[in-house]
């Protein structure tokens, strides 16, 4: 908290008011909007507490730890009437908005397939040892809603992403962005089936999720796939992340840096490149895409501008990736209710719709 306060002070010449426990902050009548960039096991709790306190919410993806929390967050937004914007910033990318509109108007004919991918060269997290909690960390507060575990030296500050207890794996850590682009372009909601294959192949360590994953989202006459390589940064089309939308008359490649349009013979017909590199590591990145997304949120509060990433719409992208994690864990194809996203005919997998909480931290709307 001190580090971030110092960065903000140096960057904006203003010293922020720092509060360790967000519950105290929500008591303030002077706060009418909050931005949430916490580990996944905290996000829905803070968002729903904020809605109950009358605050508008900007919450980074994935916005929940499991599908049940996302469903409750959508319900809470409807109940309390405040705004909730998901932090999938590419929904506010000018070139992405324009090319998706053109796709939906028939640029590449009838669309039927979206391929999303992400790659990185993450290192091993090793085998953790139980050690004393660092002085800078309030381990009990950090765990918050999650049932208590002893502190190990390979959990904080980042590797919690790779443990089921707190994180959601690479599919939600990064895949949320590109799968959302595919679902948006193809005008899709919940699929009828989800399957996923992969494993922890590159290293043998405490990492509980896959480092290599292929997930399939089957719709009526349409398909989305997501391919993730966490430890091998081989790029497609020279890009470590992106999406291609395929249709009866061609293909469009979309990423944060621009887009390309190809005909059926893979001939490049059109290309657009942005003039800047977009980074979304944190709120201090200050790229135009992130700025525009926050501005849309602020304008939604001030003048009623329509949100580009309302939780009621974009939670669907979060939920289907959480469900792909469940499909991978159990090695089964999941059949879904295409209206609600709920799992049909698999009681074991359906139990992962939600989770157990530390006593006193149960979530409710």
CATH code: domain of residue 331: 3.30.360.10
The answer to the question of residue 260 being in a domain is yes
Range of the domain at 113: 94-277+312-353
The answer to the question of residue 256 being in a domain is yes
The answer to the question of residue 305 being in a domain is no
DSSP letters, 240-292, are SEEEEEEETTEEEEEETTEEEEE-TT--EEEEEE-SS----SSTT---HHHHH
Q: What is the mean pLDDT of residues 287-308?
A: 96
- Structural domain total, the chain: 1
What confidence score (pLDDT) does residue 99 get? 98
- pLDDT per position as a tens digit, 100-120: 999 999 999 999 999 999 999
What confidence score (pLDDT) does residue 284 get? 55
What confidence score (pLDDT) does residue 4 get? 75
What confidence score (pLDDT) does residue 287 get? 83
The answer to the question of residue 225 being in a domain is yes
Three-state SS at 121: strand
What confidence score (pLDDT) does residue 153 get? 98
Three-state SS at 40: helix
Q: What is the mean pLDDT of residues 16-39?
A: 92
- pLDDT per position as a tens digit, 184-243: 999 999 999 999 999 999 999 999 999 999 999 999 999 999 999 999 999 999 999 999
What confidence category does residue 285 fall into, taking pLDDT thresholds of 50, 70 and 90?
A: low
Q: What is the mean pLDDT of residues 324-335?
A: 98
The answer to the question of residue 139 being in a domain is yes
The answer to the question of residue 251 being in a domain is yes
pLDDT reading at 283 higher than 70: no
What confidence score (pLDDT) does residue 282 get? 47
- pLDDT per position as a tens digit, 53-65: 999 999 999 999 9
Three-state SS at 61: coil
The answer to the question of residue 55 being in a domain is no
The answer to the question of residue 50 being in a domain is no
SS (H, E, C) 203-237: CCCCCCCCCEEEEEEEECCEEEEEEEECECCCCEC
What confidence score (pLDDT) does residue 5 get? 78
Q: What is the mean pLDDT of residues 40-67?
A: 98
What confidence category does residue 21 fall into, taking pLDDT thresholds of 50, 70 and 90?
A: very high
């Amino acid at each position: 908290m001190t580090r971030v306060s110092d960065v903000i002070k140096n960057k904006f010449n203003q010293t922020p008011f720092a509060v360790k426990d967000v519950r105290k902050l929500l008591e303030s009548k002077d706060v009418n909007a909050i931005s949430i960039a916490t580990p996944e096991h905290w996000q829905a709790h803070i968002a729903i507490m904020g809605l109950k306190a009358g605050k508008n919410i900007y919450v980074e993806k994935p916005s929940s730890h499991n599908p049940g929390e996302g469903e409750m967050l959508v319900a809470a937004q409807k109940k309390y009437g405040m705004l909730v914007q998901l932090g999938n910033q590419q929904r506010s990318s000018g070139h992405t908005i324009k090319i998706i509109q053109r796709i939906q108007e028939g640029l590449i004919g009838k669309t039927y397939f979206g391929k999303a991918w992400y790659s990185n060269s993450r290192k091993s997290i090793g085998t953790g040892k139980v050690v004393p909690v660092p002085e800078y960390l309030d381990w009990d507060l950090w765990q918050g809603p999650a049932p208590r575990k002893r502190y190990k030296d390979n959990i904080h500050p980042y590797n919690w992403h790779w443990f089921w207890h707190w994180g959601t794996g690479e599919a939600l850590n990064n895949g949320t962005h590109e799968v959302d682009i595919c679902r948006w372009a193809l005008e899709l909601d919940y699929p009828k089936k989800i399957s996923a294959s992969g494993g922890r192949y590159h290293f043998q360590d405490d990492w509980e999720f896959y480092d290599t994953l292929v997930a399939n989202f089957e719709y009526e006459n349409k398909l989305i796939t997501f391919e993730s390589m966490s430890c091998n940064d081989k790029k497609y089309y020279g890009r470590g992340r992106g999406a291609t939308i395929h249709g009866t008359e061609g293909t469009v490649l979309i990423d944060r840096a621009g887009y390309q349009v190809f005909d059926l013979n893979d001939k490049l017909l059109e290309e657009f490149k942005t003039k800047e590199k977009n980074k979304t590591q944190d709120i201090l990145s200050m790229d135009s895409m992130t700025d525009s997304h926050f501005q849309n949120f602020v304008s939604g509060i001030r003048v009623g501008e329509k949100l580009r990433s309302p939780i009621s719409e974009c939670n669907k992208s979060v939920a289907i990736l959480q469900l792909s994690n469940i499909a991978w864990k159990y090695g089964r194809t999941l059949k879904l209710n295409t209206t609600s996203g709920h799992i049909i005919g698999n009681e074991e997998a359906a139990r992962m719709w939600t989770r157990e909480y530390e006593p006193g931290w149960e979530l409710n709307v």
